[in-house]
Amino acid sequence: MKQLYLGTNWKMYKTIRESEAFADRLRQSATSLPERFTIFIIPPFLSLPRVSGILSGTRIKVGAQNVHWEPHGAYTGEISPLMLKEIGIQIAEIGHSERRQYFSETDFTVNKKVLSCLKHGLIPLICIGEPMVEKTYGVERPYVLRQLRIALRDVSPEEVAKVILAYEPVWAIGESGVPAEPVYAESMHTWIRQGLSNEYGKEIAEAVPILYGGSVNRENAASFLLRKNIDGLFIGRAAWDVDAFLRIIHDTASLLQSS
């Protein structure tokens, strides 16, 4: 039975106090979380030290929403991988579509950040996915494969197994997003897995978790995880209430067990 991942990115939501309350509640429930799931949360930067401290010693991983590729330097407003490591952060989210759209993130800066994270012992969570226009014109597969190949340039076979991929079609995320049909998500995950296999071989490709993100909620979560090449879910606003997040975790575990 493969390990599955369930996580959420809070974006620019939750104050430090709200983040602490969420983390406290999650810690209280940590021992009852299904062992099959690796659970992670990605708060805003200001909340990271407190959330990391509260969840220290549990199986729940804490991530950052961005990271710079240099360990230090004159980069005003940036956060280095060494700074994240010092406060116990384990994951760095890289290349989210909002970072690409609003803050000039490119496939090439994603690659630099991936290499830096691996060098400094952080897990890169690499976001890839096509906008609606690429899907409309039928070029979503080469578009996503390009993102994947550039992101993983110079990543060794030994290192790529430490990477997590999140397939998040841009048209499926956000308040106006429409979730991809599970069969479509599965077809894209299969394509991504084949791209990994072509570069690193089948055995290594099978070891890389590929998560789906895009309007995931309590009602549709299990339908994605029942698909062979979907290894987890990257959940948005449906998981921003801690009790709702816990319900998704436990409901999904129960549905998978009965399937």
The model's confidence at residue 2, banded by pLDDT at 50, 70 and 90, is confident
> Is 120 one of the annotated active-site residues of the chain?
no
The candidate with the shortest Cα–Cα distance to 46, out of 18, 8, 85, 72, is 18
* Residue 76 in this model has a pLDDT that exceeds 90: yes
Q: What is the pLDDT of residue 174?
A: 77
Instruction: Residue 246: give the domain boundaries.
Output: 4-258
Supply the CATH number for residue 46's domain: 3.20.20.70
Tokens of 27: 């810690």
**Active-site residue flag, 96:** yes
Q: What is the average pLDDT across 120-146?
A: 97
Average pLDDT, the chain: 96
What is the count of structural domains for the chain? Answer: 1
pLDDT average, residue stretch 50-60: 98
CA dist., res. 236 & res. 114, Å (int): 23
Average pLDDT value for residue range 3-10: 97
Q: Which is catalytic among the residues 105, 134, 168, 186? A: 168
Rounded CA separation 200/220 (Å) = 32
For residue 50, give Cα distances in angstroms to 55, 59, 64, 88, 89.
Answer: 9, 16, 13, 10, 11
| Region 162-174 average pLDDT | 94
Interval 86-128: pLDDT, tens: 999 999 999 999 999 999 999 999 999 999 999 999 999 999 9
Q: Beta partners for 4? A: 37
As given in the structure block, the two tokens for residue 188 are 């894209």
Q: Which of 93, 96, 134, 140 is catalytic?
A: 96
